[in-house]
Structure 1
Amino acid sequence: MADRYVLTASDVTIEYPAHSVSSAFTAVKGFTLTIEPGEIVGLVGSSGSGKSTLAHVASGQAAVRGSKDNSPRIIGGSLDVLGFEMRGLKRSKLNKLTLGVGYVAQDAGSNLTSNMTVAELVAEPLFLRDKRYNRHEAGLKAATLVDALLLPVGSMLKQPHELSSGQRQRVAIARGLILDPVLLIADEPTAGVDVSVRGAVVDVIAGLQRSRGASALIVSHDLAALRRSVDRIAVIHEGVVVGLGGIDEVLSDPRHPYVAGLARETYSDEADDDFDDDEDDEGEGEGDGDEDGSESDAGAAPDRDENR
């Protein structure tokens, strides 16, 4: 891999192997992408497009699970992450890879250990890597991330069941960021997060990674949440890349019907927002929102990538 890239995917094809009564299924077909240090890339697609499969493989999570649960595998092309070839990656190299790659699953917020506080949950990866890590420094680092992700400081002493679904997801994002990964792969990180703060959460992820010269691959079906923060997007549809470049570049010259649909939806939403802003300017003021930016459990559900 050229040193300038943290991720290089060249004509990657990923398959779920046959099992039981199901035949093999190709989820990703000929995917090509590079990510530079400090670059934030959005991977956009609908449910079932293959985007979560790609994130699962690129992060090393598929290799961690091995043959369990019908894990996906690369059957064509090359995927290089931080200098490690992911196709046929051996377990002896997997631990070294995960030192530099952070991963946030789309349902991470629902899988937090129930009897730990937010402070303990966010700091835990530091102690799993180094049991002698300074506890005061760990607490400060955790508190800084919690605050950056628009969670109230008081939440540090709460347990997951005392938080909304969106707040739990943001705790999971903080866990993914606390080890300062060279590459963060976040699969639908704003799943369950209130729509009013989704863009801000993505801003935080992008800003923190950029500030230390690190990169991120943010998987989402929500283009609006990515729009302010990513440098480029890769649009994937039915396992195939159908758009690649800056957001405006891709949307202004769609080469595929799916991208054309994204463009219509995006520009329509922007027009509606402009109209709403004009109406707000004519009003006498707005009511105050929740001070802690919390969401109810009725927030948007994760857009799960159903690959079969």
Structure 2
Amino acid sequence: MPFAGDVVVAASDVTIEYPAGHGRQAHRALDGVTLSIRRGELMGLVGETGSGKSTFAACVAGLVGRRLPGDDVPQIVGGSLRVLGQELRALRPRARSRLTYEVGYLPQNAGRLLRPGFTVAENIGDPVLAREPKYDRRELGGRVAELLDAVQLPLRMMSMFPHEISSGQRQRVAIARSLILRPVLWVADEPTAGVDVTARGPVLDTILELQSEHDFSALIISHEAAVTARLTDRVAVLQGGHLVGLGRLDEVLENPNHPYVRGLAEEYRIVTEPIQLPDLEGDDR
């Protein structure tokens, strides 16, 4: 049944840990985080490396209790995390499968995770066929072509393989793949990673256009101030697994109540401050 609520993500005092094992001590990635994402809202998630951003994003995408690349298995050990009405702390396999159909996930370094033996078209369409093997191939081809065009890649690229295209192009293929199921919620961990600086603006415009067209909600991680400022309605700031800022970007940065947020405010001011061009009126050089 399609999700019909107004709040697509509701974290209430949620605490997430990586259990001890294989010679490692237990590690608390998130500690008592409370935030919500409303239907149609684009929420930014920012913070230093190791602050818990990627762990939170992966858990929201339904990967709680499952091994993450390069990590152990994150577990919710306190509080509540509800996504599209489902309590993730007690999520059964069938409910997890339904949830991942509704949530599009772009993991960190997604462009590197494309299947090397699949063409670009096969990589983008794979999530559909994994769920519906008998899905009409002609219709799927149309959806793939539409998304490829949306992320501003030529249709001739459909028959190419990941190793034949650039890292930035692979990232855009990964974005298309994460949106092929027309998700209610899109979770994107560094969506512009590997994308050439000159192509980032068009990619961000594409994301906004797709969101406007399909009205999905989003949780977007980015270390780039310009990306967060361009894409998001509100931001959540994590530091050491704790939530230290939440609200509209301008509100959070204008009234920083934590030392880490004060540092961010200066960084964002430098990046987003408009460039003042010299007044050349009357200059006849």
Shared fold (TM-score, shorter chain, > 0.5): yes
Distance (whole Å) between structure 2 residues aligned to residue 106 and residue 180 of structure 1: 20
Distance (whole Å) between structure 2 residues aligned to residue 261 and residue 176 of structure 1: 33
Shift of 1:268: 1.4
| Structure 1 position 46 matched with structure 2 position 48 | yes
Shift of 1:20: 2.7
> Contact 1:5–1:37 at 8 Å: present in 2 too?
yes
Runs (4+) of structure 1 exceeding 4 A deviation are none
Q: 1:258 to 1:196 in 2, by over 3 A?
A: farther
Determine the structure 2 residue equivalent to 1:141: 143
Shift of 1:163: 1.0
Q: 1:134 to 1:107 in 2, by over 3 A?
A: same
Determine the structure 2 residue equivalent to 1:93: 95
> Contact 1:63–1:89 at 8 Å: present in 2 too?
no
Question: Could you report, residue by residue, the CA deviation over 1:99-122 in whole angstroms, capped at 9, with x for unpaired residues?
Answer: 211111112211211122211211
Question: Could you report, residue by residue, the CA deviation over 1:109-163 in whole angstroms, capped at 9, with x for unpaired residues?
Answer: 1121112221121122222222222222211211121121122333222110011
Shift of 1:21: 2.4
Distance (whole Å) between structure 2 residues aligned to residue 241 and residue 2 of structure 1: 28
Determine the structure 2 residue equivalent to 1:230: 232
Distance (whole Å) between structure 1 residues aligned to residue 137 and residue 92 of structure 2: 34
Shift of 1:6: 0.8
> Contact 1:206–1:230 at 8 Å: present in 2 too?
no
Please identify, of 195-204 and 31-40, the stretch whose mean Cα deviation from structure 2 is larger: 195-204
Out of 158, 161, 170, the residue aligned to residue 159 of structure 1 is 161
Determine the structure 2 residue equivalent to 1:113: 115
Distance (whole Å) between structure 1 residues aligned to residue 120 and residue 114 of structure 2: 9
SS in 1 for 2:220: strand
| Structure 1 position 244 matched with structure 2 position 246 | yes
Determine the structure 2 residue equivalent to 1:221: 223
Unaligned runs of 5+ in 1: 283-308
Determine the structure 1 residue equivalent to 2:256: 254
Please identify, of 56-65 and 247-256, the stretch whose mean Cα deviation from structure 2 is larger: 56-65
Please identify, of 25-34 and 1-10, the stretch whose mean Cα deviation from structure 2 is larger: 1-10
Question: Could you report, residue by residue, the CA deviation over 1:53-99 in whole angstroms, capped at 9, with x for unpaired residues?
Answer: 10111111233449x95211111110000111011322232112112
Distance (whole Å) between structure 1 residues aligned to residue 268 and residue 81 of structure 2: 31
Distance (whole Å) between structure 1 residues aligned to residue 79 and residue 208 of structure 2: 29
Shift of 1:199: 4.1
Determine the structure 1 residue equivalent to 2:199: 197
> Contact 1:101–1:183 at 8 Å: present in 2 too?
yes
In structure 2, give the amino acid aligned to 1:144. Answer: E
Determine the structure 1 residue equivalent to 2:190: 188
Please identify, of 217-226 and 199-208, the stretch whose mean Cα deviation from structure 2 is larger: 199-208
In structure 1, give the amino acid aligned to 2:141. Answer: G
Q: 1:57 to 1:87 in 2, by over 3 A?
A: same
Q: 1:20 to 1:129 in 2, by over 3 A?
A: closer
Shift of 1:2: 9.4
Determine the structure 2 residue equivalent to 1:127: 129
Distance (whole Å) between structure 1 residues aligned to residue 263 and residue 90 of structure 2: 37
> Contact 1:199–1:226 at 8 Å: present in 2 too?
no
Distance (whole Å) between structure 1 residues aligned to residue 136 and residue 94 of structure 2: 29
Distance (whole Å) between structure 2 residues aligned to residue 202 and residue 62 of structure 1: 28
Distance (whole Å) between structure 2 residues aligned to residue 160 and residue 189 of structure 1: 17
Shift of 1:260: 1.4
Distance (whole Å) between structure 1 residues aligned to residue 204 and residue 48 of structure 2: 19
Out of 170, 175, 178, the residue aligned to residue 176 of structure 1 is 178
> Contact 1:199–1:224 at 8 Å: present in 2 too?
no
Distance (whole Å) between structure 2 residues aligned to residue 156 and residue 79 of structure 1: 38
> Contact 2:67–2:74 at 8 Å: present in 1 too?
no
SS in 2 for 1:21: coil
Aligned length: 277
